[in-house]
Structure 1
């Protein structure tokens, strides 16, 4: 369904056309100049536009005069109750009830698909997220990035975009060699050999013990005593496979999915040959690579800087601060060269808008990568980064100590097993991703309105409860979705009902705005506001039976109110679906304790 603001933007454009035809205005403004939004206060009407103030100079007329002409024309529209000028040139519009009734009926008929847009035909998007190094289990910070990326991809798809979810497997470089050496120590331990080598910069977590044991079971002592050059490659491959399976299990537990897992090693050792060399060659052929020197990094002492000629990408031609090295002193590729090749591969595979969900410590990476994508894709693809801040794990406000299993941090699995995937996901999304946050293990499982995920899920359950109770109380009444979609919504006159109807009608617009901004937290905020309005109206009904959703003996009013309940449930279910959170029909009370794990506080 087209959102109500889009619909009335078109009506305002048509009104301008009539005003031009009648000679009252000199021109029809471009459609993008017409912005329509819900009013902040329902007493001022339903919708407002400030287009008159943006046209005053172009039209050579006072904004108030433009607004007055527009208000007169809109007032004649049969779908408009009133149109009035406010302030220096705003036009406030009160709509006929049928305008919002169509939104409620659409929500009732569409259910959790309400607000979903058909594919819009825009170029494909690739959302890369998580991409944690395969050196151990995921921690809570990884989990936040995973949830943000997954919800962002779902939001974009719901808004009509073609989206691919990708995980970049960092299976090349020094860190996986360290992983292999750590596994080798565990392998020797499994063979009964004593070693204290884990103190020498290796990964100490107990999660590597079963990997070493599996290698010992499968190979016996075949690798013991062999030189590192011989055992390192097979141990590296085995370790990466084991860690990626561990990561996949963590992602499945959290309800996160990817469409593809792209191997960093495949950039140089894959079936398509050396893609990094190919990328550098392509840039060089277009005179985007040169040999030169770089100034020392800002704040770095001059005597600590090695001034040498390097092979550089002309990043400054594409908005970066400095040109960027592509080769190290030993002739091997820089990490940045591999990143350029990787993003170029996304473009070659059809991606046209590339979004990376990154940790906040990658802020300095964004500008250079945008420059590289512009160059490597010949301007056909764009790059965007979503930065995710760190998470502090607490319980009742007290810091949580590290986990024995990981050796240095609390694992994502331990947290999700304690609080549940729904609580974890919604809490992570109930704040801007670029804002730091505290995740309180005790608070996120409380069954109280102070817990946002419980509050929203309870709102959906309440709506479904009203529908079940009505079917039991009025067994002979037709309360099917088809009947509710035909209900007389003019019977919904209470301010609480009207406010809920406005929110239902505003949902499709909220989807568009959140997708355009790439901010799934907006969906969480809107759901919380909708649930708050529902609970407030429900509480009023507890005090005044005349406001309840079920009115004994009055099928028409009951049917209209149940249509509203079904519409609100549709909005909550659609939004929770975008966030990857369940929309339960019932809420069972527990002790609010969660499932205990080995996390210590």
Structure 2
């Protein structure tokens, strides 16, 4: 049930009737016609821009179209009134009977209320986290993991077929550095004194890996040259780090569907196949790039390279994909990886990148556009930095890593639910302050607490009603008589009715933070309604008349269901009581 969709369909049907009557021309694009809440709730329940967007192509005055459309809509019993506003906007007030159906629909549907078929089963690949497998993940990775995971859940809720994917960056030199660092811990496990050269990884997290390597191979690698052990230790170390990363992600409530290894692209012909696909489209050539904009580096010299003609697909400059010595650039395996995604048949690709990858966006979009012939869109979301505070001061030290706060530190200090919700309170490309004290504070200023308290407050109301012998199961509540609702209760229902629309908006623009924003607004409305009941007894959830109480708690329970559905998308467990 989506009231906004239903009323939009009614508006479109009325326009079609006006076309059939000759009041409007037949060839009109109705896609821009919207039905939304008015900016000022005093103006009505919904508003449509139909006349404003149709006036020019119809060669009519907006107000004339609005008046005719208002007359058509008024014929439907779902519309209580249709009022012309300004130069051509149309404000609608819905029949009370329509609002009365919403809580019952929510209680019958449960947390599936708001699910959409907007995605039509289209296949979407959401790639996120993709941290280098060289150590534990930090708080920056946590935000990317949470945003990506919530986005995947949101798209699934909106009817897409979603794959959660992690790209393992195990093809570069950093994994050799990891292997050398683990080897030093291996020697240490054998009782040797070791020093970590600059550029290696001295974190304590590798102590257990070095010990495990000793348990596996004994002294087989002692006093052996690097070419004897490097390849094996590289694989062993990467696997160990990925096990650590999987455990950390699981602690945050994140589980991937698929892990793709960068290393699998090398020596298998996959990079060559991707580049050949571009070459077949006449997008690969030998050429010389212009020097970087601004001050020319002292060591810069013009040299011929193999280039991808990315400017033909929206990039600023063409990009090198092969070095003058024949080796691949960093861009080449990324092209091959996304070619693999395209070949797997995805209809939409979404990448979650750190803010430091901003310069990579245009070239990657150009590559996917070229590889897919423009048929597969790529959306790249950048994750801005998280600034950590404790006791009002910047907080940086980690017991485990020594230099940064790990994802596991974060979960152990505040819990996965708090971390997930707070990381989604702002748009991903905006920096975010995370104060370890404030995010667990039981205050209306803390959005996590505020939403959880709304849910637990309703659970408390239901427990009290049950103690009075009133049935509180959803089936009973769905049958409650809501024919005599107060205007404040209608306003609360209107907020619930907006949930399916908010889901579709958030899914369409790939912004899961909108769900957190909606939940905060719904929680605010619930708390406001509850507090208003302290003065206006007719608004209290528990009344002397059991039938009236049933009506009130049916509405309260509907709010709890929607909060639970929203928290489910964010990966947060609803609280049933606050402690």
TM-score (norm: length of structure 1): 0.94
Matched, 1:448 2:443: yes
1:372 Cα deviation (Å)? 0.5
Structure 1 equivalent of residue 279 of structure 2: 284
Asked if residue 343 in structure 1 is aligned to residue 341 in structure 2, the reply is no
The answer to whether residue 496 in structure 2 is matched with residue 504 in structure 1 is yes
- 2:424 aligned residue: 429
The partner residue of 1:491 within 467, 479, 484 is 484
- Name the residue aligned to 1:548: 540
- Contact 1:431–1:521 (Cα < 8 Å) also in 2: yes
Is residue 2:329 matched to residue 1:330?
no
In the alignment, which residue of structure 1 is the partner of 2:381?
Answer: 386
Mapping of 1:278-427 within 5 angstroms? 278-301=273-296, 303-427=298-422
Q: Is the 8 A contact 1:211 1:239 kept in 2?
A: yes
Q: Are 2:434 and 1:439 aligned? A: yes
Secondary structure of 1:491's match?
coil
Q: Counterpart in 1 of 2:509? A: 517
1:574 paired to 2:561: no
The whole-number CA distance in structure 2 between the counterparts of 1:243 and 1:253 is 15
Q: How many aligned residue pairs are there?
A: 579
**Which residue number in structure 1 is paired with residue 99 of structure 2?**
100
Distance in 2 (CA, whole Å) between partners of 1:120 and 1:412 is 32
Q: Flag the 1:322–1:31 CA change in 2: closer, same or farther, 3 A.
A: same
For the Cα contact (< 8 Å) 2:481–2:551, is it kept in 1?
yes
Counterparts in 2 of 1:380 and 1:29: CA distance versus 1, 3 Å: closer
Q: How does 1:243-262 map to 2 (within 5 A)?
A: 243-262=241-260
User: 1:13 touches 1:28 (CA, 8 Å); kept in 2?
Assistant: no
Following TM superposition, by how much is the alpha carbon of 1:236 offset from its aligned partner in structure 2, in angstroms? 0.8
Q: Decide whether the 8 Å contact of 1:206 with 1:404 is kept in 2.
A: no
SS in 1 for 2:47: strand
- Give the drift of 1:299: 2.2
* Residue in 2 that maps onto 1:597: none
Structure 2 match to 1:599: none
In the alignment, is the contact (CA less than 8 A) between 1:294 and 1:307 conserved in 2? yes
Q: Please, which of 508, 521, 524 is the counterpart of residue 529 of structure 1?
A: 521
User: Is the Cα contact below 8 Å between 1:205 and 1:404 reproduced in 2?
Assistant: no
Q: What are the superposed Cα offsets for residues 80-102 of structure 1, whole Å, 9 maximum, x if unpaired?
A: 11111111111000000122222
User: Take 2:119 and 2:567, find their aligned partners in 1: how far apart are those partners?
Assistant: 23
- Asked if 1:174 corresponds to 2:165, the answer is no
**SS class of match (1:145):** helix
Which deviations, in whole Å up to 9, do the C-alpha atoms of 1:316-361 show, x marking residues without a partner? 1111112111112332211110000000111112212110000111
SS in 2 for 1:6: helix
SS of 1:363's partner is: helix
Q: 1:192-213: CA deviations, max 9, x gaps? A: 11122x1321111111111111
Shift of 1:483: 2.6
CA distance in 2, matches of 1:120, 1:494: 35
Task: Determine helix, strand or coil for the equivalent of 2:498.
Answer: helix
Asked whether the equivalents of residues 119 and 162 of structure 1 are also in contact (C-alpha less than 8 Å), the reply is no
Q: Return 5+ residue gaps in structure 2 as ranges.
A: none
* More off after superposition, 93-102 vs 433-442: 93-102
8 Å CA contact retained: 2:99, 2:490: no
CA contact (8 A) 2:122 2:347 kept: yes
Describe the SS at the equivalent of 1:312: strand
Find the residue that maps to 2:389 and give its secondary structure: strand
Report what 1:220 is aligned to. Answer: 218
Aligned position for 1:459: 454
Report the CA distance between 1:4 and its aligned residue: 1.2
Corresponding residue SS for 1:223: coil
Choose 34-43 or 145-154, whichever is displaced more. 34-43
Could you tell me how far apart the structure 1 residues matched to 2:258 and 2:140 are?
Answer: 22
Q: Distance in 1 between matches of 2:419 and 2:485?
A: 37
Residues 112-137 of structure 1: CA deviation (Å, up to 9, x unaligned): 11111248435311000000000000
